Structure formats: structure tokens, C-alpha cells
């Protein structure tokens, strides 16, 4: 499958069946380097399934996912993660009994050690460097004042911000976000939009799944509309906003 020079992620002719259900049918998606690519669509459209296929949690029934020239299909989630692909989950996956700061330090250790384990022989300098990096990341996401709190005690919005910090400290080349503002107040949503804009200016490629139109139109360079497991429209935000098929399938839909 040929890809253009600036395409960093190519989902090539991917299908995913669950028994008789075609959750994804002939998905062909190209994400340009450094851009924010939004995937929108009604509930059940296949958005989370698509993300799970990209990060290796689900194997496609056919087709392939290519990241920066490497075929991801067949690789395990942690192998894909080590290639520079990170994901913020729809339900935050954090260590509830560790402090906020410890949570953010954990992926940094994992990155250095190449596995999710604490290296007993790590140098003090290394630990200090990781702590500084973690604090810097917590400042970025606005959680510095909560660094000593047990992560389990955070509000839902703050847990999502913590998970974002745990992704950012990995310095991924591609960040996948599944409804990053779900369950947040309008104020927290706006804070998250500003944060994601800041990340965007650092050149990280992002794929963002989102129901909230305000978020999508604030952030997206390009939008793909998924309905019934197919991409029914794709283009710049203004093109997609005015597309009658999109209004029918999505804007008049569940949310």
C-alpha cells in the first residue's frame, strides 16, 4: 500500500467483525504527521474498535495498520507503545494507590527500563531527572498542586488529566485520545482544549475521538466521520460541518 511522505499513520482497508456484526468495514484512514485528526460519529459507529485495532488490543479481521512505515498489525500493545504510540483510554487507567506524582513517574521508568518494572539499581540522578520531568508534565496538565494526593482520590476530570500526563511523559509521536473530555464540566473541557492546543504546537500527531462538537471544531485539522463502521465523510472541519450526510448520521444522532 503506497503512502504519501507526510502520512504517519495509515489504516489500510481494515475490517473488524464480531461474529456477524461488521463493526468496521473497509476503513481506509490516513493521518498526516503533526496534525490533529478527529474521528466523530454516533454511539456504536466503531470508533473505539478502530482505536483498539490501531493500538493492538484487537486484531483486525482483515487489512493492516502502518505507522511510520512499520506494520503494527500482529504486534502486541506494549510493542506498539514502544514504537511511540500512546493512548488515553475512555476509562482512565491509573494506579489508584500511588500518588499523582508516582503515577506520572511510572511510565518514565518503564520507558527507560524497557519494561513495566521498577529498576532497583537505577541511579539517584536518573530518578531525580525523572521526577523533574514528571513535575514539569504535571505543571503542563495543571495537576502540580495535587502531586502528593493518591490518584484514586482525584475527580474524574483530574484522573483524565493524570492519564494524559502519563502519556505525555512518554513523549509519543502519535497520541490517541478516546473522548478526552467525556464526563468533564464545561470549565474542565475548556482547560483540556487549551492543553491539547499547547501539545499541538509541539508537533505531536493526534487522533482524537470525540462526541463534543465544540472540542472537535476547536482542535481538529481534519475530521473523519464514522457511521455503521464506515467512513461516510472526511475533510476540513468546515467541509464536514456543512455535509448533509454528516448532519443526518451524526448531528441528528444520539448526542
The catalytic residue positions are: 179
Least Cβ distance, residue 238 to ligand ADP (angstroms): 23
Least Cβ distance, residue 90 to Mg ion (angstroms): 6
| Site membership for ligand ADP, residue 48 (CB under 6 A) | yes
| Site membership for ligand ADP, residue 53 (CB under 6 A) | no
Considering only 29, 30, 37, 49, the residue that binds ligand ADP (CB under 6 A) is 49
SS3 152: helix
Considering only 31, 37, 41, 207, the residue that binds ligand ADP (CB under 6 A) is 41
Question: Between 138 and 227, whose beta carbon lies closer to ligand ADP?
Answer: 227
Say which entry of ligand ADP, Mg ion, none residue 45 contacts (CB below 5 to 8 A, set by partner kind).
Answer: ligand ADP
Question: Between 94 and 225, whose beta carbon lies closer to ligand ADP?
Answer: 225
Measured CA to CA, the distance from residue 220 to residue 209 in angstroms comes to 10
Give the ranges where the chain is alpha helix by DSSP (H). Answer: 47-54, 77-82, 100-113, 124-141, 156-168, 186-200, 213-219, 237-241, 244-246
Answer whether 236's CB lies under 8 Å from 37's CB. no
In this chain, which stretch among 41-49, 97-105, 113-121, 237-245 interacts with ligand ADP, using CB under 6 A? 41-49
Least Cβ distance, residue 72 to ligand ADP (angstroms): 18
Residues forming beta bridges with residue 178, ordered by sequence position? 209
If you search the block for the grid coordinates 476540513, which residue do you land on?
236
| Site membership for Mg ion, residue 49 (CB under 5 A) | no
Question: Between 228 and 237, whose beta carbon lies closer to ligand ADP?
Answer: 228
CA distances from 138 to 43, 134, 150, 202 (A): 32, 6, 14, 17
Measured CA to CA, the distance from residue 122 to residue 169 in angstroms comes to 18
| Site membership for ligand ADP, residue 91 (CB under 6 A) | no
Residues forming beta bridges with residue 18, ordered by sequence position? 21
| Site membership for ligand ADP, residue 172 (CB under 6 A) | no
Q: How far is the first Cα of the chain from the last one, in angstroms, to the nearest whole number? A: 36
| Site membership for ligand ADP, residue 77 (CB under 6 A) | no
Residues 1-20 that bind ligand ADP (CB under 6 A): 18
Answer whether 239's CB lies under 8 Å from 245's CB. no
Say which entry of Mg ion, ligand ADP, none residue 44 contacts (CB below 5 to 8 A, set by partner kind).
Answer: ligand ADP
In this chain, which stretch among 39-47, 118-126, 168-176, 193-201 interacts with ligand ADP, using CB under 6 A? 39-47
| Site membership for Mg ion, residue 48 (CB under 5 A) | yes
Answer whether 154's CB lies under 8 Å from 100's CB. yes
**Helices (H), strands (E): how many in the chain?**
9, 10
Where on the chain is the footprint of ligand ADP (CB under 6 A)? 18, 21, 23, 41, 43-49
Amino acid at each position: 500500500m503506497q503512502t504519501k511522505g507526510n502520512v504517519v499513520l495509515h489504516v489500510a482497508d481494515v475490517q473488524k467483525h464480531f461474529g456477524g456484526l461488521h463493526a468496521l468495514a473497509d476503513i481506509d484512514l490516513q493521518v498526516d504527521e503533526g496534525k490533529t485528526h478527529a474521528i466523530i460519529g454516533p454511539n456504536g459507529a466503531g470508533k473505539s474498535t478502530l482505536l483498539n485495532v490501531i493500538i493492538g488490543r484487537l486484531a483486525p479481521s482483515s487489512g493492516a495498520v502502518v505507522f511510520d512505515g512499520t506494520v503494527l498489525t500482529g504486534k502486541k500493545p506494549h510493542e506498539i507503545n514502544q514504537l511511540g504510540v500512546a493512548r488515553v483510554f475512555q476509562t482512565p487507567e491509573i494506579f489508584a494507590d500511588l500518588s499523582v506524582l508516582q503515577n506520572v513517574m511510572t511510565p518514565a521508568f518503564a520507558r527507560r527500563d524497557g519494561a513495566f518494572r521498577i529498576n532497583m539499581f537505577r541511579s539517584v540522578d536518573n530518578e531525580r531527572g525523572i521526577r523533574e520531568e514528571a513535575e514539569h508534565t504535571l505543571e503542563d496538565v495543571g495537576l502540580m498542586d495535587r502531586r502528593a494526593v493518591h490518584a484514586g482520590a482525584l475527580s474524574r476530570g483530574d484522573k483524565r488529566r493524570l492519564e494524559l500526563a502519563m502519556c505525555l511523559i512518554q513523549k509519543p509521536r502519535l497520541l490517541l485520545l478516546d473522548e478526552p473530555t467525556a464526563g468533564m464540566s464545561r470549565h474542565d473541557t475548556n482547560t483540556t482544549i487549551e492543553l491539547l492546543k499547547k501539545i499541538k504546537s509541539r508537533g505531536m500527531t493526534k487522533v482524537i475521538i470525540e462526541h463534543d462538537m465544540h472540542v472537535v471544531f476547536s482542535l481538529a485539522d481534519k475530521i473523519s466521520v464514522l457511521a455503521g463502521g464506515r467512513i461516510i465523510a472526511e475533510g476540513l472541519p468546515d467541509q464536514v460541518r456543512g455535509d448533509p450526510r454528516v448532519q443526518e448520521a451524526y448531528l441528528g444522532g444520539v448526542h
